[in-house]
Structure 1
Amino acid sequence: MRRPLARRATALGISAALLVPVLAACGSDDKSDQKKDGAKAQSADELVIYSGRNEKLISPIIAKLEKATGTKVEVRYGDSAELAAQILEEGKKTKAGLFFSQDAGALGALSNAGLLAKLPEKSLNKVDAAFRGGAGDWVGVSGRSRVIAYNPAQAPKAPDSVKDLTKPEWKGKVGYAPTNASFQAFVTGMRVLEGDEATKKWLKDFKANGAKPYAKNGAILDAVDKGEVALGLINHYYWYEKASEVGADKLKAKIHFLPGGDPGALVNVAGVGVLKDGGQSAAAEKAVDYLLSDEAQKYFAGETKEYPLVAGVASPVDGLPALASLKAPKIDLGKLDSLQKTLELIREAGMV
């Protein structure tokens, strides 16, 4: 299902990385199921989840989680960065037992603040070390790769690096979404890999080469498919979702997974962490284990076309390259929390 574009939110709280306007990759819900009295869940069979993944996607699997674990779950939905900042503000008085983030950066911010509890080794070991926190306090649930969408009529062969997109041959022919969280995570990844100055230069050169801004990934894919642009920077699942809706044979657009550890091949994750001060550790750990179960992994892989991260769980998506075959850059995903500097560079490049 397509991710709804969330409103631009100002993240609250202490973390400088989160005290900035961000465009979430998931929806928000003001009619939260959070407890009205604001008290922590006291029973081992109760759990409050702050979820940066949208309600339409999460509610069916939450119902399955409740049944499988015997846990009563209440969920507050919102923007991942905003919810992480809320947890930072709540501190030891947090109402959340589990944080389910749309991206690794928000989890990294909470880890750096010492607010996440170390997870049991048996849970961590289900997922490759590249897709979990270095401190052992959060773990990825599903993954997504950045790709280049291309229209074969205009680009018979897609470039093998995002760095090629500043060349004259692609002037005015590339679509991107500068206010979208996934693009911002990619830029943050480039900063971590290559430094601020190199990233700043790439952003300015890319903008100067006539790259065309869009509001979201889905709009970019549609533009590539219609021939409005030859290339587009998106997450892989948008193409597979569209192919599932209309048929792969009906799509003119194709996608290219970049080789060689290119910054444009970043694999980011949605993941979970247990709140150290939430008073719900037992229930939260059961929830983590359920989200890493075969049933939950297959749910996310089928519904979102993302990658399952637990070893031995295969994706049901036809034609999706195996996660192990991707040549993603080697990066500590927790370092994607440095969003403040990324947004400064994007603004300096005149993209927003």
Structure 2
Amino acid sequence: MHVRRFLTASLAAIAVLGAAACGDEGPTDTTEGADLVIYSGRSESLVQGVLDDLTTETGVKVGVRYAGSSELAAQLLEEGDATKADLFFSQDAGALGALGKAGRLEALGPSVADQVIDGFADPNGLWVGTSARARVIAYHPQQAPEAEQMTSVDEILDPTYKGKIGYAPGNASFHSFVTALRVAKGEDGARDWLTRFKANEPRKYDNNVLVLDGVDKGEVALGLINHYYWYERVAEKGAEAVTARIHFLDADDPGALINVAGVGIIKGTDQKEAALKAVDYLLSEKAQQYFADETAEYPVIEGVTSMHDLPPLAELEKSSIDLNELDSLETTLAMLNEVGLT
């Protein structure tokens, strides 16, 4: 009940941010008449291609509701056993962990977790990662060339960057980053960091794409995003047409978090067999190649390489925080509301 109370209380603020990001028409929902219903916190533009294949792969009609991961996690808790969702496809591990902690996910079985790289699945088998992404600092090379030397996200708190930082407050990956801050710095340390961040008057954007746009156009000097947004932009427009650069902190720092997108099967579904087939497909070589090439993310199974010039995942120094410690989403949302960063 503690998890449900906080997440549901935060749903209104997150829903407003999600609606702004999706435009006046709201998120896409194709669940009417579907046999297997997926609630996807991953954006339609990123994953529609791979989800479109699921009808063929599972042999059942698949429908998807798209919205923010935190919003959907709260909705699933609110709906409880009455939900029509069979599978939750989350942008981050934190929302999956919150649902698992609340008893809303089915065990996947050890054979599922065994398919992925160590550390990218819940040790209790309640969720599994489908792709990995690194938190990075996007920067404008003329406005903030020094960003290339940063080793801690604390450095963006310098008053030099007042009014010059972009972030997406409704984004699930930002929520996981804040949770990582709480794990690394403790509650008081994280609250102090967020208070100083707010005092630097960061600029709010509806999503990470717009954060990158802001850096690229020079609206802001720095932006907090995931790595793949930049690689997708470069693949689309060419490196010479993209002014923004990104920097991997390459340190044991919350700003160097390697998180996952992932899936969990909703407790009580009557489509568990189809849902397991969907999970297996998302971990297949074909789907992993899609994530590696189409979304520029890191695959979570061995033997798949990317067309993008990504620094090797194994060579990145990253935050030592265990992804299973990111499950306190309710406390993170409450702290963001308290500090005024929603």
Question: Shorter-normalised TM-score: what interval?
Answer: 0.7 to 0.9
- Decide whether the 8 Å contact of 1:94 with 1:277 is kept in 2: no
Q: Does 1:266 find its partner at 2:257? A: yes
User: Residue 292 of structure 2 corresponds to which residue in structure 1?
Assistant: 301
User: In 2, distance between residues paired with 1:209 and 1:301?
Assistant: 35
User: Residue 140 of structure 1 corresponds to which residue in structure 2?
Assistant: 129
User: Residue 160 of structure 1 corresponds to which residue in structure 2?
Assistant: 151
Q: Does 1:33 find its partner at 2:31? A: yes
Cα deviation, 1:130-149, whole Å, max 9, x if unaligned, reads 22113111101112211011
Q: Pick from 158, 172, 175 the counterpart of residue 181 of structure 1.
A: 172
- Decide whether the 8 Å contact of 1:34 with 1:75 is kept in 2: no
Gaps of 5+ in 1: 1-12, 37-45
The residue identity in structure 1 corresponding to 2:193 is W
| Distance of aligned partners of 1:271 and 1:156 in 2 relative to their CA distance in 1, 3 Å threshold | same
Task: Indicate the larger mover: 138-147 or 332-341.
Answer: 332-341
Q: Pick from 278, 299, 322 the counterpart of residue 332 of structure 1.
A: 322
User: Residue 70 of structure 2 corresponds to which residue in structure 1?
Assistant: 81
User: Residue 47 of structure 1 corresponds to which residue in structure 2?
Assistant: 36
| Distance of aligned partners of 1:288 and 1:160 in 2 relative to their CA distance in 1, 3 Å threshold | same
Q: Pick from 341, 345, 349 the counterpart of residue 335 of structure 2.
A: 345
> CA shift at 1:126, angstroms?
1.5
> CA shift at 1:346, angstroms?
3.0
Q: TM-score, length-normalised on structure 2?
A: 0.86
Cα deviation, 1:28-83, whole Å, max 9, x if unaligned, reads 546432338xxxxxxxxx53322223444444323322223333323333333333
Per the alignment, in what secondary structure is the counterpart of residue 288 of structure 1?
A: helix
Cα deviation, 1:284-338, whole Å, max 9, x if unaligned, reads 1111111100111111222222221112211221x21122222221223344343
Q: Does 1:201 find its partner at 2:192? A: yes
The residue identity in structure 1 corresponding to 2:65 is R
Per the alignment, in what secondary structure is the counterpart of residue 4 of structure 2?
A: coil
Cα deviation, 1:178-200, whole Å, max 9, x if unaligned, reads 34333222112111222111111
The residue identity in structure 2 corresponding to 1:276 is K
> CA shift at 1:264, angstroms?
0.7
Per the alignment, in what secondary structure is the counterpart of residue 260 of structure 2?
A: strand
Per the alignment, in what secondary structure is the counterpart of residue 99 of structure 1?
A: strand
- Decide whether the 8 Å contact of 2:7 with 2:74 is kept in 1: no
User: Residue 287 of structure 1 corresponds to which residue in structure 2?
Assistant: 278
Per the alignment, in what secondary structure is the counterpart of residue 129 of structure 1?
A: coil
| Distance of aligned partners of 1:122 and 1:24 in 2 relative to their CA distance in 1, 3 Å threshold | farther
| Distance of aligned partners of 1:62 and 1:242 in 2 relative to their CA distance in 1, 3 Å threshold | closer
User: Residue 58 of structure 2 corresponds to which residue in structure 1?
Assistant: 69
> CA shift at 1:166, angstroms?
1.9
Q: Pick from 107, 111, 114 the counterpart of residue 125 of structure 1.
A: 114
Identity %: 53
Per the alignment, in what secondary structure is the counterpart of residue 64 of structure 2?
A: strand
User: In 2, distance between residues paired with 1:53 and 1:179?
Assistant: 13
- Count of residue pairs the alignment pairs up: 330
- Decide whether the 8 Å contact of 1:134 with 1:332 is kept in 2: no
- Decide whether the 8 Å contact of 1:188 with 1:339 is kept in 2: yes
The residue identity in structure 1 corresponding to 2:126 is D
> CA shift at 1:89, angstroms?
3.7
User: In 2, distance between residues paired with 1:178 and 1:88?
Assistant: 21
Gaps of 5+ in 2: none
| Distance of aligned partners of 1:205 and 1:277 in 2 relative to their CA distance in 1, 3 Å threshold | same
User: In 1, distance between residues paired with 2:248 and 2:294?
Assistant: 21
User: In 1, distance between residues paired with 2:83 and 2:201?
Assistant: 46
> CA shift at 1:263, angstroms?
0.7
- Decide whether the 8 Å contact of 1:61 with 1:299 is kept in 2: yes
> CA shift at 1:172, angstroms?
4.0
Task: Indicate the larger mover: 328-337 or 19-28.
Answer: 19-28
Per the alignment, in what secondary structure is the counterpart of residue 14 of structure 1?
A: helix
- Decide whether the 8 Å contact of 1:15 with 1:85 is kept in 2: no
User: Residue 5 of structure 1 corresponds to which residue in structure 2?
Assistant: none
User: In 2, distance between residues paired with 1:77 and 1:106?
Assistant: 15
Per the alignment, in what secondary structure is the counterpart of residue 195 of structure 1?
A: helix
> CA shift at 1:93, angstroms?
4.2
- Decide whether the 8 Å contact of 1:107 with 1:334 is kept in 2: no
> CA shift at 1:18, angstroms?
4.5
Q: Does 1:221 find its partner at 2:212? A: yes
Task: Indicate the larger mover: 19-28 or 77-86.
Answer: 19-28
Q: Does 1:191 find its partner at 2:189? A: no
Q: TM-score, length-normalised on structure 1?
A: 0.83
- Decide whether the 8 Å contact of 2:215 with 2:244 is kept in 1: yes
